[in-house]
Amino acid sequence: MNEITTPRRATVHDVARAAGVSLATVDRVLNNRPGVRPTTARKVADAVTSLGFQRDLSASLLARARDLQVRFLIPAGSNEFMDSLADAASRRIESALIERLQIAITRLPLLDARALVDSLDVLMPHQCDCAVIVGTEEPAVLASVEEATRRGVMVMTLVSDLPGSSRRHFIGIDNVAAGRTAASLMGRFCPQGGKIALVAGSMHLHDHHDRLEGFRAVAAEYPGLELLEPLEGHDEHQETQALVEQLLARHSDLGGIYNLGAGTTGLLAALRRTRRTGSLRVIAHELSDCSRAGLADGSIDVVLDQNPDGEIGAALAAVRTLALGAGTLENNEPIEIRIFLRDNLG
């Protein structure tokens, strides 16, 4: 039998011996601290690569008698999805602690760049190793991210990326693919073709924009589908409900609705009031109590979900990896979109 005999991993001792220096020097190089001659540093670096040395994060945290501190900065009040993100983070507090990861969560009062910047600017490297933020692409935010990085606080973006910045990693789904998938389903749901309505929060939101783009691209492959102009409900229950009721009244022959925003509660209310849940195919985003109910009673056919639990898990895993000093994460696979019907709900 081919038994796999794993060779013992290299330790700091091995590196020190190979480089002909002491443990302390190796440690200084590893954590790139000052006080090492360039020549010595090179010797250590060579030993590290030739031995394939990999630091043991757990032992490192054990020695420092210190946990890894992660702070999530998540908007509140605006979006139901943000609540589920925060909940997912909360749920992990306990289990993360066992792995020496301390999770702190700050809900920002508004979807306000100022509040985010203020919270970010306060974070110091001795109390926060990594800030995981969901932020909008505004100059003040970008500046704050740069500043945090310079101070020694890693920044990671969640849900919505800040491409030009010094964020070390991005966790989120591919929203264009989400829109494409929705269209691909809708096209198959309506083999006879038909009018399809699009309900968004706002076209100014990056993710909504991407979803719309993806949906339109694939919908074009189904000549029978006639896309109506997108409605903007600003993710407000009342407004979305009114909009959808008006929509249903105007188009008695509507074939489907793609709700690419977060106003699912309002949409559902409208659908139920007008009792048009049979002949109409409805695709919405984000699993929530509301959308679960919609799936259960048949008013929603499919829910595309961003998988907040998976995103939080991926974020924590990334923090651990990046804490070792890796420049960037190469395995930057985006989070997978989850697809739910009534029949595969947890």
Partner DNA sequence: CTGTTAGCGCGTTCAT
Partner DNA sequence: ATGAACGCGCTAACAG
Residue with tokens 């509040």: 115
Tokens of 129: 């190793």
**Binding of residue 17 to DNA (CB under 7 A):** no
Smaller CB separation from a copy of itself, 162 or 282? 282
DSSP label of 159? S
Residues of the chain by 3-state class (helix, strand, coil), percent to 5: 45, 15, 35
Tell me if residue 225 falls in helix, strand or coil: strand
Q: Point out which span in 16-24, 141-149, 172-180, 242-250 binds a copy of itself (CB under 8 A).
A: 172-180
Residue with tokens 């030993």: 47
Residues 14-43 that bind a copy of itself (CB under 8 A): none
Smaller CB separation from DNA, 25 or 157? 25
Tokens of 341: 């019907």
**Binding of residue 166 to DNA (CB under 7 A):** no
| Contact partner, 330, from a copy of itself, DNA, none, Cβ < 5-8 Å per class | none
Tell me if residue 75 falls in helix, strand or coil: strand
Torsion of CA 252, 255, 259, 265, to 10 degrees: 50
Query: Which of 149, 166, 184, 274 forms a contact with a copy of itself (CB under 8 A)?
Result: 184
**Binding marks (x or -) toward DNA, 40..69, rule CB under 7 A?**
x------------xxxx--xx-xxxx----
Smaller CB separation from a copy of itself, 52 or 163? 52
User: Could you tell me the smallest distance in angstroms from the CB atom of residue 344 to DNA?
Assistant: 39
Residues 286-305 that bind a copy of itself (CB under 8 A): 301
Beta-bridge partners for 303: 284, 340
Spatial separation of the C-alpha atoms in residues 143 and 180, rounded to whole Å: 34
- The footprint of DNA (CB under 7 A) covers 8-9, 11-13, 20-25, 27-28, 30-31, 34-37, 39-40, 53-56, 59-60, 62-65
